[in-house]
Amino acid sequence: MDYRPEVTGRLTELWEGRETGILKDSPEIYNRYRTEAFSEFLRLGIPDRKNEAYKYTNLEKSFGHRYEQYFSPKPGDFREAERFHCEVEDLDVWNMVLLNGFFPRGDEGLAMLPGGIWVGSMKAAARQFPSLVEKHYNKYAQNENDGLVPLNTALATDGLFLYAPKNTVNTKPIQIVNLLHSTQDIFAQDRNLVVVEDGAQMSLLVCDHAISPQHYLTNTVTEVYVGRNARFEIIRVQNQHNDSGKITHTFIHQERDSFASSNNITLHGGLVRNATWHRLNGENAETHSYGLFLADKHQHIANFVKVDHAAPNCNSTQLFKGVLDENASGAFNGRIMVHKDAQKTNAFQSSNSIIMSDTARMDTKPQLEIYADDVKCSHGATVGQLDENALFYLRSRGIDAREAKLMLMFGFAHDVIKNIPIEALRERIDNLVLQRLRGELSRCASCAIQCN
Partner 1 sequence: MQTEFLIQIKDLKASIDNKEILKGLNLEVKPGEIHAIMGPNGSGKSTLANVLTGREIATVTAGTVTFEGKNLLEMSPEERAREGIFLSFQYPIEIPGVSMVNFMKTAINEQRKHRGLEPLSASEFLRQMREKKELVEIDSALTNRSVNEGFSGGEKKKNEIFQMAMLEPRLALLDETDSGLDIDALRIVANGVNKIRRPDTSVIVITHYQRLLDYIVPDYVHVLYDGRIVRSGGPELALTLEERGYDWIKKEADVSEETWTTDQK
Give me the residues that bind partner 1 (CB under 8 A), please: 387, 389-390, 392-401, 403-404, 407-408, 410-415
- In the complex, the smallest distance separating the C-beta of residue 411 from partner 1, rounded to whole angstroms, is 3
Q: Which is nearer to partner 1, 107 or 387 (CB)?
A: 387
Closer Cβ to partner 1, 42 or 394, answer by number: 394
- In angstroms, the Cα distances linking 416 to 14, 247, 354 are 41, 21, 14
Nearer to partner 1, 336 or 355 (CB): 355
Q: How far is the CB of 247 from partner 1 (least distance, A)?
A: 30
Nearest distance from residue 399's CB to partner 1, in Å?
5
**Burial bucket for residue 131 (CB in 10 Å: 0-12, 13-18, 19+):** exposed
Is residue 241 within 8 Å of residue 212, measured between CB atoms? no
Q: Give residue 94's identity as a one-letter amino acid code.
A: W
Least separation, in Å, of the C-beta of 352 and partner 1?
11
Of 131 and 389, which CB lies nearer to partner 1 in the complex structure? 389
Q: How far apart are the first and last CA of the chain?
A: 32
Rounded-to-integer distance, Cα 430 and Cα 449, Å: 19
Tell me how far, at minimum, the Cβ of 286 lies from partner 1, in Å: 24
> Distances in Å between the alpha carbon of 86 and those of 110, 179, 265?
22, 12, 18
- Residue 79's SS3 state is helix
Over the range 194-232, which residues count as b (16 or more CB within 10 Å of their CB) and which as e?
Answer: bbbbbbbbbbbbbbbbbbeebbbbbbbbbbbbbbbbbbb
Compare residues 111 and 401 and give the one whose CB is closer to partner 1. Answer: 401
Round to whole Å and give the CA distance between 271 and 137: 28
Q: Give 260: exposed, middle or buried? Use CB within 10 Å, 0-12, 13-18, 19+.
A: buried
How far apart are CB 267 and partner 1 at their closest, in Å?
18
- Contact predicate 4/46, CB 8 Å: yes
- CB closer to partner 1, 186 vs 354: 354
Residue 371 or 392: the one with the smaller Cβ distance to partner 1 is 392
Under 8 Å between Cβ of 230 and 162: no
Query: How many angstroms separate the CA atoms of 92 and 396, rounded?
Result: 41
Is the CB of 311 or the CB of 417 nearer to partner 1?
A: 417
- Strands 117-121 and 111-113 come out as antiparallel
In the complex, the smallest distance separating the C-beta of residue 408 from partner 1, rounded to whole angstroms, is 7
Residue 66 beta carbon to partner 1: minimum distance, rounded to whole angstroms: 44
Q: Which is nearer to partner 1, 210 or 292 (CB)?
A: 292
* Nearest approach, Cβ of residue 210 and partner 1 (Å): 29
